[in-house]
Structure 1
């Protein structure tokens, strides 16, 4: 009996078979059905849904708006997350544990609850506007909700830990002796950071940024609530096409485009994580 046959008939293989079936039915089958819906209609094979997607400017506008919000979210997550991860690395183990707990605890709270909390903070009569008016900085309320600004703020709040936690884990693996050696050779603190520490953290930063960007593309709850239906994104448009119109072929075509874009980004994510493991 060959080695391949031995593996196929071994007990560990058959123990994994039920899990493989669940994954095939629960994950792969819906993807193939979605792909089939995008290229087949009642009349037979067709690419009309893709033609509609390209010709109708409204769909391309929504796609562009989604990409813009994803880019803004990723940019500000990097802007806030990198200094936060670097600061965490400088803390003592005890304070690191406390700070990490403060970052992880929001995961225990429903995204829906956290999103509605931003309405209390950012609303026209919310905490932030009342505080600014009370300090005399503004005369009337600033519109922070039901626009792209509110969506970006809420999305950053949810996705920031997805960048901070892996970035911090990568930063802790950078050898302090390497930094100390550079210091003994006369390098300044800024030179040590920009010429040694930052380049070593780039793979983790890039991988975390791509992860945040991918998650931003398919975000639904936060844009739906904080956008108030005025900030069109792909996930919200898919809900409209499936539940209200319905147009399954067009929705499937949009999903396929989003899936291909996500797979491309995921390939880059794997590349950067591979580089990170080898550093």
Structure 2
């Protein structure tokens, strides 16, 4: 080993040790708990697969994550496409507005939805005042409330990478299509939409991954009626406690996230090419 390489290795060793202790060791400990009782066993995973309540929670989490992702696509794609056609000043203003939620705590934003959508909230008061409903509608403390909260939190995570991808599109392609007589609708459906496919898929995968680990939003806006994996982990660790089952459930979530991350990286590589 050359002197320069040796010097670099010595300098990097403390950082590497910190990363192993702070990040890798807890993960390895979790994996160890999921396979011990105290002897090596796979019974914790079999217990999860044989217990309907855990399968239902995993299914709820996957469904809510998928619906959140779909909601972000429906709202975020037109918004990003519209932002792309604005003037530089208009795009800057819109980007600031998209980034604005990052300056506010997720907890505060989640409680704000109670003020807006609660039984005595702004929306229900307005509906009652104009006579559209006779009693308050239940917007929160159910799956709808959780979806509204998660979409609100994760929409910027969909819009920002998608906007970055749209900004890299070569305008000459669209100009050439227009010069050959293609209408704006034809340019969008036959050129822009296929080009944006990998970027949309990568952003959607990112949103899906993030929504799998949500805790605060389903705990508050679900009102205890909507349980996701993170909420179940809290019960398994702090209420029961059952650390081995929690470790097995966490391992399943981690493997799912790693697979989705690999898909995300492949899609991002395809988008870059």
Q: How many residues align?
A: 273
Residue 270 (structure 1) aligned to one of 243, 257, 265: 265
2:110 match:
115
Give secondary structure in 2 for the equivalent of 1:41. coil
User: Where do residues 26-175 of structure 1 align in structure 2 (5 Å cutoff)?
Assistant: 26-42=22-38, 44-175=39-170
In 2: Cα distance, 1:273 partner to 1:119 partner: 37
Deviation sequence 1:203-258 (CA, Å, 0-9, x none): 11100000000001000011111011110110000000000100011000000111
Report the alpha carbon displacement of residue 6 of structure 1 after superposing the two structures with TM. Answer: 4.8
Aligned to 1:22: 18
Tell me the equivalent position of 1:236. 231
- Runs of 4+ in structure 1 deviating by more than 6 angstroms, as ranges, are none
TM-score (norm 1): 0.95
Q: CA deviation at 1:198?
A: 1.1
C-alpha offsets along residues 8-49 of structure 1, whole Å, 9 cap, x if unaligned? 403x3333222222211111111100000000122x111111
Partner of 2:221: 226
Cα distance in 1, alignment partners of residues 237 and 225 from structure 2: 19
- Using the alignment, how far apart are the partners of 1:58 and 1:188 within structure 2? 53
Unaligned runs of 5+ in 2: none
Deviation at 1:194, TM superposition (A): 1.1
